[in-house]
């Protein structure tokens, strides 16, 4: 029976493999794509811990097979120790870093912006603004056709056995979402 909220039952590798077969077939039909995986690392220290785990799980369950480059866009400077740790976790996949310049839009003054709006702090609102606009203008992404944007607390907890970018190409998709 399990605990309340313990449904659906955990999926096992044979089930996952079978359920993802059609996605694998479609993705394989178009081959590897010009894709990149992007993380946005905010200013909180806890986000670095989340990123370490998210990156480990991404590599374990997907990217060790497909080896798409990874870009970490960060608000605060990242020291050499953190960069080295993240690079080691990426296991030879090209990992790059870009320092973002977080600032208010020109038409707003700092004094006119409340610290929180509906409970969301300024740093969170900067992140949302980046994801819906500034991300897509980054010169670092200009040579890619597909971008997979992951939050630092996005944890891929089971194998993802198909090339997500290949599936998007095969389905002529311009946007995808998985919860």
Q: SS3 string of 31-92?
A: CCCCEEEEEEECCCHHHHHHHHHHHHHHHHHHHHHHCCCEEEEECCCCCHHHHHHHHHHCCC
Q: What is the pLDDT of residue 122?
A: 85
* Each residue's pLDDT tens digit, 9-45: 667 888 899 999 999 999 999 999 999 999 999 888 8
Least confident window among 69-73, 121-125, 175-179: 175-179
Residue 115 has pLDDT above 50, yes or no: yes
Is the model more confident about 92 or about 14? Answer: 92
Residue appearing with tokens 């919860």: 179
Residue 179 has pLDDT above 90, yes or no: no
Q: What is the pLDDT of residue 5?
A: 56
Q: pTM, whole model, 2 decimals? A: 0.89
Mean pLDDT of 173-177: 86
Q: What is the pLDDT of residue 2?
A: 46
**CB-based contacts of 7, cutoff 8 Å, min separation 6:** none
Burial of 88 (0-12, 13-18, 19+ CB in 10 A): exposed
Determine the Cα–Cα distance for residues 134 and 42; give it in Å rounded to an integer. Answer: 15
Q: How confident is the model at residue 96 (pLDDT cuts 50, 70, 90)?
A: very high
Determine the Cα–Cα distance for residues 91 and 129; give it in Å rounded to an integer. Answer: 31
Average pLDDT for the chain:
91
| % the chain with pLDDT above 70 | 93
Q: What is the pLDDT of residue 176?
A: 84
Q: How confident is the model at residue 1 (pLDDT cuts 50, 70, 90)?
A: very low
Burial of 152 (0-12, 13-18, 19+ CB in 10 A): buried
Determine the 3-state secondary structure of 155 from DSSP: coil
């Amino acid at each position: 029976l399990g605990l309340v909220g313990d449904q659906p039952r955990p999926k096992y590798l044979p089930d996952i493999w079978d359920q993802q077969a059609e996605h694998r077939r479609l993705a394989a039909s178009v081959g590897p794509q010009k894709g990149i995986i992007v993380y946005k690392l905010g200013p909180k220290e806890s986000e670095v811990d989340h990123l370490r785990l998210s990156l480990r799980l991404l590599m374990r369950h997907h990217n060790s097979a497909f080896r798409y480059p990874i870009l970490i866009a960060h608000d605060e400077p990242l020291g050499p120790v953190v960069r080295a740790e993240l690079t080691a976790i990426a296991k030879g996949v090209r990992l790059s870093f870009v320092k973002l310049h977080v600032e208010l839009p020109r038409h707003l003054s700092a004094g006119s912006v409340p610290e929180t709006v509906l409970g969301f702090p300024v740093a969170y609102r900067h992140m949302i603004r980046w994801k819906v606009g500034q991300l897509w203008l980054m010169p670092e992404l200009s040579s890619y056709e597909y971008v997979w944007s992951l939050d630092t607390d996005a944890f891929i907890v089971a194998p993802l056995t198909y090339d997500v970018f290949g599936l998007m190409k095969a389905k002529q998709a311009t946007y995808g979402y998985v919860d």
